[in-house]
Amino acid sequence: MSENAVDKIEVGDSEEYDGDEYWVERLSLRTMERYISAIISGEQQLEQRRASPFYDVRLLRYIDKRKVKWDAVRQVKVLHLYAGNQPNSKFVDVRVLKNRLVEYLRDVPEGWKKGDQVYEFELGDVVAHG
């Protein structure tokens, strides 16, 4: 494979953003305890979610009222991941360095297939956990 081969492409523009419509202050998502522990310890620095209408509505900046056409991936400031709905459930709040929508083309990671569109969150510092 050549050095210029592309493993994945960025589907949406996620360059510099102006205006509040491009930002999500905090996005809450459920995950398993083992992933929360891996994020807290620094082992996991990337969170991935398969693109679906659930995530699209939260992460895409739509330019029409019917939510069909979009022009950008909204940037998340803090990702709140929790395990369960109990008041004492394990959680982590982590800063997001960058998030984007990508499509896998080759050298597809385990659990995904060629052509899958995936939201990737590059994780930064842990803000809080419990």
Give DSSP secondary structure letters for 51-82: --HHHHHHHEEESSTTS--EEEEPEEEEEEEE
> Averaged over 26-55, what is the pLDDT?
93
Which listed CATH number (1.20.1270, 2.30.130, 1.10.3470, 2.40.10) goes with 8-129?
Answer: 2.30.130
Tell me the pTM: 0.80
Kindly tell me if the per-residue pLDDT of 1 is higher than 50.
no
Residue 55, classified by CB atoms within 10 Å of its CB into exposed (0-12), middle (13-18) or buried (19+), is: middle
Dihedral over Cα of 78, 7, 104, 101: its sign: positive
